[in-house]
Amino acid sequence: MKTPASIALFLAAAALGLVSAQDSAPVAKGSVFHDLDGNGSRGPGEPGLKGVRVSNGRQVATTDDAGRWSLPAEEADEFFIIKPSGWMVPLDENHLPLFYYTHRPEGSPPSRFPGIHPTGPLPETIDFPLRPQEEPDEFKVLLFGDTQPRNLKEVDWIARDVVDGLVGWGGAFGVTLGDVVFDNLDLFGPLSEVIGGIGVPWFQVLGNHDVNREAEDLGSNETFIRHFGPANYALDWGPVHFVVLDNVFWTQKDGRPSYEARLRPDVLDFIRNDLAGVPKNKLVVFMMHIPLGGVAEKEQFFELFEDRPATLSISAHRHIQEHFFFGAEEGWDGDVPHHHLVNVTVCGSWWSGAPDENGIPHTTMSDGAPNGWSVLHVSGDRYRIAFHAARRAPSHQMTLALPDPAPAESGVLFANVFNGSERTLVEMRLDGGPWIEMAKVREEDPLYVETRARETALKPPPGRALPEPRPSSHLWKIPLPGPLAPGVHRLEVRASSPHGFPSSAERIFRVQS
């Protein structure tokens, strides 16, 4: 801190033109280099890399011919590399990417959940190692919403319900879209060990249950930052640019912690400065925790990229699966609607419902969809999204509900197509007859309503109570053609959409005589 005397000397020097205000501001500097020996430290003969972008979470700098960069530094900052296509940052033992340097000279204040240890003054140089890797134009990204364990028992459920079936998965990388844990920040480490077993680089989004509630907004993130790095960052992979955003604004209201869906001015500055270095024809994928529709600065956010032809945004938080296509009514002024996915959650309905034969709750979500994950399939500037139900075959993409035995007349078929949206065509046919289009409705899923009523009636209940049913955004219905002859009938349903993959299901049912 400057003393009054030092301030007077500084002002006198400034008056003589010997220094400027910019000269007095702390500056972080360093290099990006080709890590030829893979040890993470720059040694003799390891060349600097030109044209790589580095950020402090607000401004973005580009390395010069020698791989050097510099950026203004504040008292609390994270400096990070924006991973370029065809290059990779180091990974730790749990496949967490090491792409950042955290600057906290005094460290975080004492807290129940430890934050960042004191880092001391800025080092003379902050150097980021990179190694080349192949990144084809076609690749896959694993999308986990809300893993959200309360305790080690639920970490074990995540391992057995989801992770075991993904070990050795052959895609590019994975992302947890916030609510990595359920307020117990001591679980960041054990959960990272479990998910690290999948064997791909794993990135994180900050959620409202990933913060230290004893602190104000920025300070509340510091335990998360200690484990995973900055809450706002970006990376390039193949032909795609990914931007990770913290849209959880924490504050104290009436002495109690509270949050809002916000994009702070510094976050909007980072997006603006980052996108300035991204070609317009690139697919840009934004990843956040709280769905975009509820973000206060949504229209300001839209203005930063609505001139781009290919964009997608993804969130989680709501413990349902839903697709939005934002247009003029929502403040979007692009040529085509902006697609936003609210992703299925790993924990489903917070690990509720009756346990199965393995002791794991079925945890069906309140829209009738099972817990699970999504896979983003990228091809150049195009993408498709696949839904995957936990411990089910990839073909399990819908449930069909109709009375059994079905009445000869007035029977109604419901199809819950988990990855469906307003752009999905759902059709049915009976006994090999013509395909008939089903009507999209926004109603409660009858199978979920039945399951919840059955489990609620049991005393004691078989597990944590399922949440109240919500009207599903991916439900279709149709009256069965009748009258139906007594006996056995075959029902088929198929679904297709431009953002997903074709799916189908069939059901054999009987009509009583």
Q: For the residues of 139-178, what is the DSSP string, one character each?
A: EEEEEEB----SSHHHHHHHHHHTGGGGTT--SSEEEE-S
- Pair of tokens at residue 324: 């939005």
As a whole number of Å, the CA-based R_g of the chain is: 26
Q: Pick from 290, 257, 77, 294: which is nearest to 183 by CA?
A: 257
22 has a pLDDT exceeding 70: no
Q: Of 101-110, 156-165, 219-228, give the range with the top mean pLDDT.
A: 156-165
SS3 label, residue 274: helix
Name the band, by pLDDT with cuts 50, 70 and 90, for residue 220: confident
Beta partners for 426?
495
Residue 20: pLDDT band with limits 50, 70, 90: very low
Please report the pLDDT score of residue 409 as a whole number: 72
Q: How far apart are the C-alpha atoms of 375 and 202, rounded to whole Å?
A: 14
Is 128 a residue whose pLDDT tops 50?
Answer: yes
pLDDT at 141: 98
Residue 411: the pLDDT is 84
How wide is the angle at C-alpha 77 spanned by C-alphas 72 and 83, nearest 5°? 85
At 407 the pLDDT is 74
Residue 54 reports pLDDT greater than 90: yes
DSSP label at residue 83: B
Q: Which of 423, 402, 410, 389 is nearest to 495 (CA)?
A: 423
**pLDDT value at residue 216:** 65
At 253 the pLDDT is 77
Instruction: Compute the distance between CA of residue 483 and CA of residue 100 in angstroms, rounded to an integer.
Output: 67
Spatial distance between the Cα atoms of 384 and 497, rounded to a whole number of angstroms? 9
- Is residue 2 predicted with pLDDT exceeding 80? no
pLDDT digits (tens, 9 = 90+) for 427-462: 999 999 999 999 999 999 999 999 999 999 999 999
Q: Token pair of 145, please?
A: 């919403």
237/271 Cα distance (integer angstroms): 17
| Residue 230 banded pLDDT, cuts 50, 70, 90 | very high
Instruction: Kindly report, residue by residue over 6-19, the tens digit of the pLDDT.
Output: 434 434 444 444 44
Over 70: is that where the pLDDT of 96 sits? yes
316 in Cβ contact with 289 (< 8 Å): yes
Question: Which tokens go with 427?
Answer: 């059709």
| Mean pLDDT over the full length of the chain | 93
Using CA atoms, how far residue 459 sits from 90, 364, 442, 452, 465, in Å, is: 52, 20, 32, 13, 12
Quote the pLDDT of residue 359.
96
CA-wise closest residue to 492 among 452, 423, 436, 449: 436
Q: What is the pLDDT of residue 144?
A: 98
Mean pLDDT of the 129-158 span: 98
Stretch among 79-93, 107-121, 329-343 having the lowest mean pLDDT: 107-121
Question: Residue 29 pLDDT more than 80?
Answer: yes
The SS3 assignment for 395 reads: coil
Q: What is the mean pLDDT of residues 48-56?
A: 98
* pLDDT-based confidence at residue 218 (cuts at 50, 70, 90): low
385-444: pLDDT as tens digits: 999 999 999 999 999 999 877 776 778 999 999 999 999 999 999 999 999 999 999 999
Q: In this structure, what token pair is assigned to residue 420?
A: 């469906």
The pLDDT value recorded for residue 208 is 96
3 confidence band (pLDDT: 50, 70, 90):
very low
pLDDT for 374 beyond 70: yes
Percent of the chain with pLDDT over 70: 94
CA 178 → CA 264, 287, 305, 318, distances in Å?
A: 18, 9, 23, 11
**What is the C-alpha separation between 271 and 304, in angstroms, rounded?**
8
End-to-end CA distance of the chain: 90
**Structure-block tokens of residue 292:** 């975009």
pTM check: above 0.85: yes
Strand, helix or coil for residue 497:
coil
Per-residue pLDDT of 184-203, as tens digits, reads: 999 999 999 999 999 999 99
User: What pLDDT does 152 receive?
Assistant: 98
DSSP annotation of 345 reads B
What domains sit in the chain, N to C, each tagged with a CATH number?
24-73+98-111+125-132 (no CATH), 140-389 (3.60.21.10), 398-511 (2.60.40.1220)
Confidence tier at 266 by pLDDT (50, 70, 90): very high
251 contacts 214 by C-beta, under 8 angstroms: no
Comparing 114-118, 120-124, 373-377, 483-487, the range with the smallest average pLDDT is 483-487
Residue 455 to residues 32, 361, 395, 446, 449: CA-CA distances in angstroms?
57, 12, 27, 14, 10
172 has a pLDDT exceeding 90: yes
Mean pLDDT of 232-260: 91
